[in-house]
Structure 1
Amino acid sequence: MSTTEQRVADQGLVGPRSVTWQLHADPAMWLAGITSLFLQALHPLAAAGVVQNSNFREDPLGRLERTARFVGLSTYGPTQDVHKAAERVRALHRTLRGKDPETGRVFRVDEPELLLWVHCAEVSTFLTVVHRAGLRLSKPQADRYLREQRASAALVGLHPEDVPGSTEEMSRYFRRARPELKHGENSAVVYRFLHRPPLQGPLRHGLPVYEPAVAHLAYSLLPSWAIRLYGEPAYPPVVASAMLRAARTGALLIPASIRWRSPTGYLPRAIRRLGPDARPSARLLPEC
């Protein structure tokens, strides 16, 4: 087989007939990504790791963009490219340390328990927000999504068998994790930053719209227990759901060929690599 044929045959980690392939193309993923950052920050060590190691104040959109890039590549990129990127991420994480704000203990940001929290906070948020936005998923499809996401957990150094692979397992994980979560000084920094990032230039003029329509909506999409931990007011659930669905409907009016180019363009490249049958569609959600 030629190199070109190998690339054409390479469907990546999950392939076009996966739940992941369809779900990660949904426009509600934009809001889900921000919601996941709010949730991750409730873990004191996760929040400390971000605040102490990230340059988000100088590069306010960088964290979200990097997360979107890695999710896009790991979903739609060729397998070799995915593993190369994952090695770079693991190598970076091996060099990073944080200090526990309560005990002063120095910790590695790639400790398995911390990696597991970040993974679970991320993928559970993607699943619940996109489903709440209107992508109809059966419980078996939701379970399959979490099983598929064990492959992305392995990319950052987790053992797949240690990662929740069903909605029941994910619920049990959060019940175990919740006693460790709290709203503290570092999560307050993240909360304020996500609501009002220090944008410069023309982008700053969009803040009056961004804060209520995007940031506070994303915060309001957190689980009710997470909102209680933050202790900050949120839109009522019925209002948040209506705003989310309206935002998704509006985004769906943008031609997919344009929408999928942003922010990384991995999906259009996957369609060129694999052919038109790789175009995401809710109709292609696998029967489970």
Structure 2
Amino acid sequence: MTVHRLTARSVSKPWGITDVPSAFPSLSGDRVGEVWFTDAPMNASTLLVKYLFTSEKLSVQVHPNDADAQAVGLPLGKSECWYVVEAEADARLGIGLLASMDAAAVRSAALDGSLQDLLDWKPVSAGSFFYIPAGTIHAIGAGLQIVEIQQSADVTYRLYDYGRPRELHLERGLAVAQLGPYCMPERTVSANEHECLVEPGNAPFSVDSIVEADGDTFTLADDVSWFVPIKGHGLIDGHRWTAGECWVSEGHCDIAAEGPMHALVARVSPPGRD
């Protein structure tokens, strides 16, 4: 058994914020858009955990699945999920299209700037959770702090970027996109009980929400688990953990809460998933 606290690395983004919470490293006045948890052991490199901080909308984009990524020489596609930690009153997530469209119509909307109006912009609040399978057209709105758990693949096809001077990837993106509404469950995570948020076997990874009271303990017993504490502090096999961190455990691992605790726990799904 081993436990490893990952290193938090801030990444500058034009849509980020300058007043990043004190738990995370700042960038000397630059906008922090993402905080990546890096230096994972090799056997824990298949998932990537991030915090996102937004003051503007992110680009409209889509990711390929494993098969589509491997067809163009990439090792993995990218499915991901979002847990909303904080949200301003009018915060939105754009997930899927309002109606089914053909590729030519989506391409035209991307070029004339109307694509953002064709997304299903869903109102969200703290505790909102969405699983975003590869192929889902999506965008993250302003005024949000989000934990993102994703396959560790650097592959994003940008369809629209509000006039920012960045490359678009229309042909590749439209080739892998689901050109219709989002059909996965929308949910608000309970503050009082354990929940399975992403089922093992139905996705490249699973995610559980863990809630414990002061003095409670729970055990991780999988080959590799990612422990992402959202609230609280305590001990993980004798090491101190606190909210805003990310830990990787291998094998049996006991986690104790010193005060009320809420955490996400992610695991890679076994081969042969649907």
TM-score, normalised via structure 2 length: 0.25
RCO higher in structure (CA 8 A, sep ≥6): 1
Higher strand share: 2
Higher helix share: 1
